Structure 1
Amino acid sequence: MYSLKTIYKVSLLLGLLTLGGCKTLTPVKMPSTIQTTESFTGRTDTTSIGQVPWKVFFQDPYLVSLIDTALRNNPDLKIAVQRIEMARADVLRTKGFLLPSVQVEASTGVRKYGDYTMDGVGNYDTNFSDNIDQDRRIPSILPDYFLGLRSSWEIDIWGRLRTLREAAYARYLATEQGRQLVVTRLVAEISSLYYELLTLDSELGIIRKNKTLQESALETIQIQKEGGRANELGVRQFRAQLLNTQSLEIQKQQQIIEVENMLNALLGRFPQQIARGESILQQKLPEELTAGIPATMLRRRPDIRQAELELRASKADLLAARAAFLPSLTVSAHAGFNAFNAAFLFNPASLAYGLLGGLTAPVFNRKALEAGRLWAQASSLEALSVYNQAVVRGYQEVVTSIRGVENLGKIAELKSQEALTLQQAVAVSNDLYLAGYATYLEVITAQRSVLQTELELAEIQKQQFLVMIDLYRSLGGGWE
């Protein structure tokens, strides 16, 4: 029996170790998260287009079909789904830490004690005792057979295992947000490429229309040359302009092939022609693009919610790293049949069981634990910075897109008037040239200007749709 003095010393030692570990539980002062403003650019909208499902927001049925196909077949989305499954498995693993581990054990072994050891002398002396029969005499080479259950259970008295489970669960939720982030980016990318494809179609049509006009002008000046009213220089200038337009036509055809292949890659299929609807000139922008308030954006954007959950997980990791300094209470148990003679293994007298509970505290490995705590603390601060960065980036994207919608609308209106004016100038220049009041250079300049302006107008109209898509994505739209 241990004396009370010995028990007191052991208890005092464990108490000191516990107090030493408790120092690590002193909360670390963490910087606060960034606070957003109450509105975007002074707007007070109560609703946000980010709340509109993508199937309602996009009206073109061809685009809706493309997005739907991508959500079924896109490789990046499939990878994100598997990451969710991995995180879910990690949650189940950390939940298992809170439960006792139980194993079925069937083992056998052999031992030979030295003659001049306590066990060897004890076994030798026991064999001469009158209290045991022949079956219970201990052989000099001692077999050992065991068949039963062994269990071990760490009782979570400081909450370390629970915080590990909370960290795993937060990361599982973060992976779900990661999947939604892939979805929003996929919807935005496919719709952007689709409108770019429509723009290329429109630009190709503009080029072909102008090519027809230039062919007609070339035929006219060739006739005039034959009649002595024009020279070879004018013919060559018109032909050079026509050749340049023909090269632009081939460039646009190649760009269409490239965009179609990019779309097919996102759809997870081999290159093929993409079916599309009306031209970019006939596509309609929503009448009103409302942004709502920043608080709504924070709740909807998957990247911000993912960063927030990663921050929560890293804080839980830090708590678990601090709790690792404290003593742990482990209970071990076994029950089964144990004998040194296999013939008597299943004899009721061979039934054996045991129960052991003990406190263990780190002493010499505290530096490793301290390194783990410092790593968890740095990881937590990093996660906080990532969260703040995501909030600032989201706010900036919304404001930039709002201003882009407003300014591109004004530019498109002015560019439309410019294109109409230049189209009229081409007609006038042709009439004047035929009447002898304008030079062929003026006709060429007018034709070149209208071609350039019409292409710029198509590009601006595309930018209007792209900035609309970016506003929709930046407000958290596209994942439902």
Structure 2
Amino acid sequence: MTMKNKTFRLMVLVVLGLMLQGCIPKLAVKKEDTRLPDTFEPGVSEAANSADVKWKDFFDDSALLGLLDIAVANNKEINIMMQRISIAQNEIQARRGEYLPFVKFRVGAGGDKIGEFTRQGAIEEHLPLAGHAFPTFLGDFRFELFSTWELDVWKKLRNAKQVAVLEYMASEEGKNFLVTNLVAEVAHSYYELLALDNHLENLEQNIRIQQNALEMVRQLLLYARATALGVRRYEAEVAKNKSNIYKLKQDITVVENRINVLLGRTSQPIQRASSGFMEQNPKVLMTGIPSQLLQNRPDIKQAELELSAAELNIKVARANFYPAFSINAGIGFEAFALKYLINTPESLAAAVTKEIVTPLVNRNAIEAEYKNANAKQIQAAFEYEQSIIKAYAEVVNQISNIDNLNKSYQMKTSQVEALVQSIDVASQLFKSARADYLDVLLAQRDTLDAKQDLIETQQKKFDAMVDLYKSLGGGWQ
């Protein structure tokens, strides 16, 4: 064994000894421990899951499907997210290249003049060079291939590459979750637009009824069977409802523009099918079992991937405490004059070096990075648990919401039917002077309010359907 090899091995042993004696902080890694119940409702277990249905097959309204097609393709936030995914994909390529050898080509030229009254200058002054004096201005010309390679002994670089892969996959799930929210938001706005159209139609219908009643009261005033007070009260009620028309039209404009923004385009009318909205019934969804949320919800899968990346980042940060091994090599030609540059073997130059670098003193930055990596892992574990708990609660809330809305809708339907009949009864009694004009006016007002509530409840039923579909993890496929 040569002296050089003995020295190198001794250096390795010394460095490894110092490393093993060094104090690496002992930090605990948090494991996810949230467990979901077996079912969403006691005694109810369904194998089928509506989250598996693609949004193009889930919605039946062709106008809504057309809007969703445009939104998914043209939404600005989706396109921004796609660029983030591209950045994450490029990061994988960059990390993969770090643990492979780097080979580069270098060309250089320069020169210098050494003072005569220096040790090197004095030597050069009396150094013969092939029968000639040493040049006063000494050139330096070279071209070479050189390589650097950090040996990934502790898998630091490979783990860093795997972190980039996990972060890329997480960004993909983040995009899916963004699509889910986009589909739900467009659907919510669309159903709100249908409800506003029905509110407007209902209000206009009520105004026509009140105008007929107003004409009737005016005629009765001519025969002294009604008072001017009744006429004025009816006129005020009609004027109030007519002013509400403009408020509804403004609300419709706002919702249309909200949809246009989601579709990534400037303001324009939204094509929709408002007629028959009150006769439609939202779909009945199959909820499956809670454990399916882990596979269907993009936000849960994103949190899981981010947790895995955070765990690997701890290993990457820990590897900074260990020695770094690298090999540097180069071969090329070097001469003080261009005419000698490619002379072989005289101008041929080569070098090989091995390096071991390890932190010994002042490791504060490394320790801080290691502790930060551990804290981020614990944070990611809590975020993963939170996403699971939140997803389960969202599904349970919407199951209960749909049930209560259906019951409420039935009661409100009965209320509207009774109030519509009360208008006819009050009108007949008023004509026969057995009821006051206020009875008719209040019956009309109560009916209008009840119909408005019924329309709002219908909208909430469709909103609950969309929210349950989103909560189960549907809408991104």
Same fold (TM over 0.5): yes
Are residue 39 (structure 1) and residue 39 (structure 2) matched?
Answer: yes
Cα distance change on mapping 1:165 and 1:4 into 2, 3 Å:
closer
Bigger Cα displacement from structure 2, 58-67 vs 145-154: 145-154
Bigger Cα displacement from structure 2, 367-376 vs 273-282: 273-282
Matches within 5 A, 1:169-248: 169-248=165-244
Bigger Cα displacement from structure 2, 290-299 vs 8-17: 8-17
Report the counterpart of residue 375 of structure 1 in structure 2. 372
Mapped partners of 2:17, 2:115: distance in 1: 40
Mapped partners of 2:313, 2:407: distance in 1: 52
Report the counterpart of residue 390 of structure 1 in structure 2. 387
Report the counterpart of residue 29 of structure 2 in structure 1. 29
TM-score (norm 1): 0.94
Report the counterpart of residue 76 of structure 2 in structure 1. 75
RMSD: 2.1
Shift in Å at residue 11 of structure 1?
3.9
Mapped partners of 1:93, 1:407: distance in 2: 54
Matches within 5 A, 1:301-450: 301-349=297-345, 350-450=347-447
Q: Is the 8 A contact 1:25 1:319 kept in 2?
A: no
Give the counterpart of 1:168 among 164, 167, 174: 164
Cα distance change on mapping 1:478 and 1:5 into 2, 3 Å:
closer
1:7-63 CA distances to partner (integer Å, 9 max, x unpaired)?
Answer: 676344212233146x53867332434222222122311111111100111000000
Shift in Å at residue 118 of structure 1?
6.7
What is the identity, as a one-letter code, of the residue corresponding to 2:178?
V
Shift in Å at residue 116 of structure 1?
7.4
Q: Is the 8 A contact 2:170 2:306 kept in 1?
A: yes
Matches within 5 A, 1:210-289: 210-279=206-275, 280-286=277-283, 288-289=284-285
Q: Is the 8 A contact 2:322 2:359 kept in 1?
A: yes
Report the counterpart of residue 16 of structure 2 in structure 1. 15
Q: Counterpart of 1:433 in 2: which secondary structure?
A: helix
Q: Is the 8 A contact 2:32 2:385 kept in 1?
A: no
Shift in Å at residue 262 of structure 1?
0.5
What is the identity, as a one-letter code, of the residue corresponding to 2:38?
E
Mapped partners of 2:119, 2:99: distance in 1: 40
1:228-268 CA distances to partner (integer Å, 9 max, x unpaired)?
Answer: 00001111111111111112211111111110010011111
What is the identity, as a one-letter code, of the residue corresponding to 1:324?
N
Bigger Cα displacement from structure 2, 42-51 vs 155-164: 42-51
Cα distance change on mapping 1:33 and 1:340 into 2, 3 Å:
farther
Mapped partners of 2:333, 2:7: distance in 1: 35
Shift in Å at residue 5 of structure 1?
8.7
What is the identity, as a one-letter code, of the residue corresponding to 2:340?
F
Q: Is the 8 A contact 2:163 2:309 kept in 1?
A: yes
Cα distance change on mapping 1:185 and 1:100 into 2, 3 Å:
same
Mapped partners of 1:163, 1:120: distance in 2: 52
Q: Is the 8 A contact 1:107 1:145 kept in 2?
A: yes
Q: Is the 8 A contact 1:53 1:478 kept in 2?
A: yes
What is the identity, as a one-letter code, of the residue corresponding to 1:89?
N
Give the counterpart of 2:450 among 431, 450, 453: 453
Cα distance change on mapping 1:5 and 1:167 into 2, 3 Å:
closer
Are residue 52 (structure 1) and residue 47 (structure 2) matched?
Answer: no
Mapped partners of 1:80, 1:90: distance in 2: 15
Cα distance change on mapping 1:34 and 1:121 into 2, 3 Å:
farther
Mapped partners of 1:2, 1:83: distance in 2: 54
Q: Is the 8 A contact 1:44 1:292 kept in 2?
A: yes
1:381-412 CA distances to partner (integer Å, 9 max, x unpaired)?
Answer: 11112111111111111111111111101100
Structure 2 residue ranges without an equivalent (≥5): none
Mapped partners of 2:207, 2:240: distance in 1: 9
Mapped partners of 1:120, 1:363: distance in 2: 40
Q: Counterpart of 1:173 in 2: which secondary structure?
A: helix
Report the counterpart of residue 150 of structure 1 in structure 2. 146
Structure 1 residue ranges without an equivalent (≥5): none
Bigger Cα displacement from structure 2, 310-319 vs 52-61: 310-319
1:42-97 CA distances to partner (integer Å, 9 max, x unpaired)?
Answer: 23111111111001110000000000011111100100100000111111110110
Cα distance change on mapping 1:112 and 1:261 into 2, 3 Å:
same
Q: Is the 8 A contact 1:17 1:361 kept in 2?
A: no
Bigger Cα displacement from structure 2, 103-112 vs 211-220: 103-112
Cα distance change on mapping 1:145 and 1:20 into 2, 3 Å:
farther
Mapped partners of 1:121, 1:47: distance in 2: 92
What is the identity, as a one-letter code, of the residue corresponding to 2:270?
I
1:314-372 CA distances to partner (integer Å, 9 max, x unpaired)?
Answer: 11111100001100110101111111211111222222222211211112341111111
